[in-house]
Amino acid sequence: MTMILLIGVLILGGIAAWLAQTWNKDWPRWISLGTCLIAGLIVLPLYINTPEIHWTLGGNETAWIEMVNYAWIPRFGINFLFALDGLSLIMVSLTIFLGFVAIISSWDEIPDRSGFFQFNLLWTLAGVVGVFTSLDLFLFFFFWEVMLIPMYLLIAIWGHENKSYASMKFFLFTQISGLLMLIAILTLVLSNANQTGTITFSYFDLVGHGLPEGLSYWLMWGFFIAFVVKLPAFPFHTWLPDAHTQAPTAASVLLAGILLKTGAYGLIRFTVPLFPQATVEIADIAMILGAISIIYGAMLAFAQTDFKRLVAYSSVSHMGFVLVGVYAWNELAMQGAVMQMIAHGFSTAALFMMAGAIQHRIHTRDMTKMSGLWHDMPRMGAVAMFFIIASLGMPGLGNFVGEFLVLLGAFSVSIPITIAAAIGLITGAIYALIAMQRVFQGEGKPDRNLKDFGGRELAAMIPMMIGLIWLGVYPQPVFDLVDPVLSSLHLLTTSDPTQWIGSLP
């Protein structure tokens, strides 16, 4: 029941924040902050639970920390099926924590309709939690849509100068790709019903279902495109820079920190296990797209003068490592992909919070007009240096662990793709250091009187800094949580459970 309670708290908190603006404009943000803290307290005890719920998945027994299964629309085999394992738990925890960061980052940024803003923020979190825990495919698609609508409103209402264009582009890309996934889900369910005589949307019933080879291939593309658009990877990435640039800071934090991770999660949880043989056929294509995303995103980031667009294109580059890791599909690469998802959530969310704070103070995102901000805001400069170094993959920090493991795992699958991906590390270091130089180094301007980071901003930044150091120095607890999940998923794609290293069978 923890998952239903968690989603319910976020939904009710959003409604309470919306209603509270009638009485006091400051109440919504406090209600929203309190809701995230309560959600965090709900999640925390799950880390002491051991996976004791066993369920057969594709002929293999899997263990789950929690599971809820209630009938919703029995006639069509649709249930409230929520399940939580180590991977889901980490993603849900990241969601709640970055929700807290988003609220802190927008504390003084939203003067109008603050209640409705907090409502949309919390409902986005509720939708994402639903995506990470739903194992009924209809319920999964429901939450996939739920998280998109409030994010669209966050950009369309509280965004910057070209917010209408950016929000509509975001909505069209994600909605059209989502409809492709819906068609694939319905076709998969009907195909299973024709063979078994039972209509079901349950993940446990559909994994391992013997689809005709041609049909499996086309259905796989429906899932793959939907998730890669959200990731995003080349050539489906074009919505991301516009959405990030025009979004308010809190929306950028959520978009980069958690919404992009739903695409990676979908590939790991659904696309490969549901269509293992079809995945084999496109594994090389997917890894090539990941390598292109790494290099292309880094090159475009290097060419930007808008700070937020630079960070947005860097996200395309960093998430390319996740795509390479997932389709290398071996232990090291998969561990690296998950680690990259978590570390990227911290580092990029922090950089977007930094970009929003700078824009709020000097009213521009143009790096050519900044220069020397470290003189005016030394605390912000020091924090920015940390996260920029983390983003470029400095050893000892979480991003390095993720990228290194992806490259190490991919090397056993494709040396040329690994070399291409490694080139992205070099280009990433170039644009990251140039950004630091343009924004924070150089001569300060004597007529500026800027407010440095205070306790509120540091309360969000310091935990992310500690998290990246912890992931870089001692990542084993994360591996201990996700390894059983990754191993069980790998069993769905191979007849030999001892073979982890190497490409898909």
Supply the DSSP string of 169-185, one letter for each residue: HHHHHHHHHHHHHHHHH
Is pLDDT of 163 > 90? no
Half-sphere exposure of 467 (CA within 13 A, CB side): 24
Condensed to tens digits (0 to 9), the pLDDT of residues 232-251 reads 888 888 898 888 888 888 88
Q: How would you label 403-424 residue by residue, b for 16+ Cβ within 10 Å and e otherwise? A: bbbbbbbbbebbeebbebbbeb
Is pLDDT of 57 > 70? no
pLDDT-based confidence at residue 496 (cuts at 50, 70, 90): very low
pLDDT of residue 360: 80
Q: Give the pair of three-digit tokens for residue 211.
A: 């689809």
Identify whether residues 328 and 215 lie together within a single domain.
Answer: no
**Averaged over 216-242, what is the pLDDT?**
89
Is pLDDT of 499 > 60? no
Identify whether residues 156 and 231 lie together within a single domain.
Answer: yes
Chain-centroid distance, C-alpha 249: 16
pLDDT of residue 292: 93
Is pLDDT of 422 > 60? yes
For 171-175, 341-345, 451-455, which range has the lowest pLDDT when averaged over its residues?
451-455
CA 171, CA 165: separation in Å to the nearest integer?
Answer: 10
Q: Which of 241, 248, 239, 231 is nearest to 156 (CA)?
A: 248
For 57-61, 146-150, 299-303, 381-385, which range has the lowest pLDDT when averaged over its residues?
57-61
SS3 75: helix
pLDDT of residue 446: 65
pLDDT-based confidence at residue 505 (cuts at 50, 70, 90): very low
Identify whether residues 188 and 268 lie together within a single domain.
Answer: yes
pLDDT of residue 494: 60
Identify whether residues 195 and 319 lie together within a single domain.
Answer: no
CA 300, CA 241: separation in Å to the nearest integer?
Answer: 10
Question: What integer best gives the mean pLDDT of the chain?
Answer: 86
**Averaged over 276-294, what is the pLDDT?**
89
- Provide the 8-state DSSP code for 62: E
**Averaged over 463-467, what is the pLDDT?**
92
445's CB contacts (< 8 A; 6+ apart) are 371, 372
pLDDT of residue 372: 78
Domain count across the chain: 2
Identify whether residues 416 and 493 lie together within a single domain.
Answer: yes
Identify whether residues 158 and 245 lie together within a single domain.
Answer: yes
pLDDT of residue 134: 93
For 63-72, 75-84, 488-497, which range has the lowest pLDDT when averaged over its residues?
488-497
Q: In terms of pLDDT, which residue wins out, 498 or 365?
A: 365
Is pLDDT of 497 > 60? no
CA 245, CA 454: separation in Å to the nearest integer?
Answer: 24
pLDDT of residue 337: 92
pLDDT of residue 180: 92
pLDDT-based confidence at residue 500 (cuts at 50, 70, 90): very low
Identify whether residues 208 and 321 lie together within a single domain.
Answer: no
Is pLDDT of 23 > 70? yes
Is pLDDT of 288 > 80? yes
Q: 398-411 vs 307-328: helix axis angle to the nearest 10? A: 40
Q: Which spans in 61-136 are helix H?
A: 86-105, 114-133
**Averaged over 355-367, what is the pLDDT?**
83
Identify whether residues 201 and 251 lie together within a single domain.
Answer: yes
CA 131, CA 90: separation in Å to the nearest integer?
Answer: 13
Identify whether residues 267 and 279 lie together within a single domain.
Answer: no
* Residue finishing a domain among 213, 243, 274: 274
Q: What is the CA radius of gyration of the chain?
A: 22
Question: Quick one: what percent of the chain has pLDDT higher than 70?
Answer: 94
Is pLDDT of 359 > 90? no
Domain that holds residue 475: 275-505
474's CB contacts (< 8 A; 6+ apart) are none
Chain position carrying tokens 């790096």: 367
pLDDT of residue 504: 40
Identify whether residues 296 and 251 lie together within a single domain.
Answer: no
CA 195, CA 449: separation in Å to the nearest integer?
Answer: 71
Identify whether residues 220 and 282 lie together within a single domain.
Answer: no
Is pLDDT of 160 > 70? yes
pLDDT-based confidence at residue 357 (cuts at 50, 70, 90): confident
- Give me the amino acid identity at 482: V
**Averaged over 424-429, what is the pLDDT?**
82
Identify whether residues 328 and 458 lie together within a single domain.
Answer: yes
pLDDT-based confidence at residue 336 (cuts at 50, 70, 90): very high
pLDDT of residue 210: 73
* Residue finishing a domain among 274, 296, 317: 274
301's CB contacts (< 8 A; 6+ apart) are 309, 310, 311, 313, 314, 317, 428, 431
pLDDT of residue 502: 41
pLDDT of residue 52: 66
pLDDT of residue 204: 86
Q: Give the pair of three-digit tokens for residue 84.
A: 């939580």
pLDDT of residue 193: 87
* Residue finishing a domain among 216, 239, 274: 274
Condensed to tens digits (0 to 9), the pLDDT of residues 268-283 reads 999 988 888 888 888 8
